Amino acid sequence: MTTSDSLRDQVRRKYADAAVAVAEGSGCGCGSGACCEADASEDFGTSLYTLEQRGELPDAAALASLGCGNPIVVAELREGETVLDLGSGGGIDVILSANRVGATGLAYGLDMTDEMLALARKNATDAGIRNAVFLKGLIEQIPLPADSVDVVISNCVINLSTDKAEVMLEISRVLKAGGRLGVSDIVADDRLTEEERAERGSYVGCIAGALSKSEYEVGLQAVGFEGVSVEFTHEVADGIHGAIIRAVKTTDPAAKGLPVVQPTARAGCC
């Protein structure tokens, strides 16, 4: 097993355990090493959502929240749009998104963990959501056609990927021209080396795998995004921050010397 495979398996097991804990009523989703580690509980989870938003959710969805921000606010969703949530977990952001895009819109949730997908589907049913579709797969291999999504959101998941360049390329592929990226993630100061990031927290705890601010900006620009913004919102460790990342897929990448992502659909991956 490669290092990447090993890390991905650790993430999968951690979030599977979190989903089972919620489903069985034996605790919240904040398992040891999850993104809402006890020593940073105010910086992760449902506390980052408004009371009104929490009121839209079944209890199990709220308990399974492991994110570091509120991408629903970041994305500024509109009625009739198609939105994709990368690493949808227990479904909190898909449920909130589905309510905002309305009956004429569609909310996809993508997750690699069977236990989280089962929990998310139950939560969506309990919330009365009819315009949500949950897909199994990796965020590095999104099982959707090119140019099929208006908005991509994500909540503290991209930092967990072992191939972030491929994630960014896939986001660009599935977004329509002019489509928006609005995610919450953990981002490091440019001054920190990879080793220094690892000293501040674990990979499955959403710290060691964090990109730096400049790495995020350059990576998104390289795959056809413009208007890239990385805004720190709160510090979760020394030099490590919760952040809001926004960008727009350019409408004419060739004219700007950017790569034209080929419109090939990806098959399901796991």
Task: Kindly report, residue by residue over 118-148, the tens digit of the pLDDT.
Answer: 999 999 999 999 999 999 999 999 999 999 9
What is the average pLDDT across 166-190?
96
Distance CA 244, CA 213 (A): 11
| Within-domain flag for 229 | yes
Residue 44 structural domain? 3-256
| Matching residue, tokens 């909540």 | 155
CA distance 116 to 94: 13
120 is a domain residue? yes
Q: Decide if 239 is inside a domain.
A: yes
CA dist., res. 143 & res. 268, Å (int) = 5
**Largest pairwise CA distance in the chain:** 55
pLDDT bucket at 160, cuts 50 / 70 / 90: very high
Asked if pLDDT for residue 50 goes beyond 70, the answer is no
Please indicate, yes or no, if residue 232 is contained in any of the structural domains: yes
In a domain, 83, yes or no: yes
Which CATH number belongs to the domain containing residue 217 in this structure? Answer: 3.40.50.150
Q: What is the 3-state secondary structure (H, E, C) of 19-85?
A: HHHHHCCCCCCCCCCCCCCHHHHHHCCHHHCCHHHHCCCCHHHHHCCCCCCCHHHHHCCCCCCEEEE
- The more confidently predicted of residues 183 and 255 is 183
User: Which pLDDT band, with edges at 50, 70 and 90, does 75 fall under?
Assistant: confident
**pLDDT for the residue 120:** 93
- Compute the distance between CA of residue 158 and CA of residue 3 in angstroms, rounded to an integer: 17
**What is the per-residue pLDDT for 122?**
93
Q: How confident is the model at residue 262 (pLDDT cuts 50, 70, 90)?
A: low
Number of domains in the chain: 1
Q: How confident is the model at residue 12 (pLDDT cuts 50, 70, 90)?
A: confident
Q: Looking at the domain assignment, is residue 263 inside a domain?
A: no
In this prediction, residue 206 carries a pLDDT of 85
Residue 262: inside a domain: no
